[in-house]
Amino acid sequence: MNYQLINLPFGASELEPVISAETIALHHGKHLATYVNNLNNLLPGSEFEELPLEEIVEKSSGGIFNNAGQILNHNLYFEQLQAPCDDNCPVGKLATAIDEQFGSFEVFKEKFTTAATTLFGSGWAWLASDADGNLHILQMPNADNPVTKGLKPLMTMDVWEHAYYVDYRNRRPDHIAAMWKILNWQEINRRYE
């Protein structure tokens, strides 16, 4: 299996001012591209060569896990983003589940924001669902993904510094606060349903 760098579902400057075209060029064109190249170099001859990406992440460790995890994480991240919208909020079955489980979208946002801002070092904040459709907010370090816990990844925020340092310097909370404007809840709900 030879992995390809995904095409972005938005134009490079379409997420501005939340995320600049410069950050997208580095994050997608350099960081993600490096993970893709690394995995394509590591897979040949390994037991994971013919497995789908999610299964590689579930079963591997070391360099293969780190690069496969970062590809899966970034694909999910970039594919859930769209042009900014001020009144952006969840839709469909997922909107109902968020209200039922957290009380309101505002409460959910607060809890998720705390998870994303307090995660120590590099990693990802996740919204994931279990087999019963219950929602979980997770803090996961480095390249980890909810599939390693048997959960389905729905929405994520990348808190590696490369995701925000060009635009926000050290102000991770400001970046997280702005991210809510560019989440594509149609896509996130599709993952849940």
Q: Which residues bind Fe ion (CB under 5 A)?
A: 158, 160, 163
Q: Give the Cα separation of 163 and 83 in Å (integer).
A: 17
**130 touches 150 (CB < 8 A):** yes
Q: How far is the CB of 27 from Fe ion (least distance, A)?
A: 6
Closest CB to Fe ion among residues 93, 169: 169
Helix (H, G, I), strand (E, B) or coil at 58: helix
Closest CB to Fe ion among residues 126, 160: 160
Q: How far is the CB of 159 from Fe ion (least distance, A)?
A: 9
Closest CB to Fe ion among residues 43, 72: 72
DSSP state of 169: T
DSSP state of 136: E
Q: How far is the CB of 171 from Fe ion (least distance, A)?
A: 17
Q: How far is the CB of 112 from Fe ion (least distance, A)?
A: 18
Closest CB to Fe ion among residues 68, 94: 68
H-assigned helices in 60-184: 62-78, 92-102, 105-118, 165-168, 172-179
Residue 183: beta bridge partners?
81
Return the amino acid letter for 101: Q
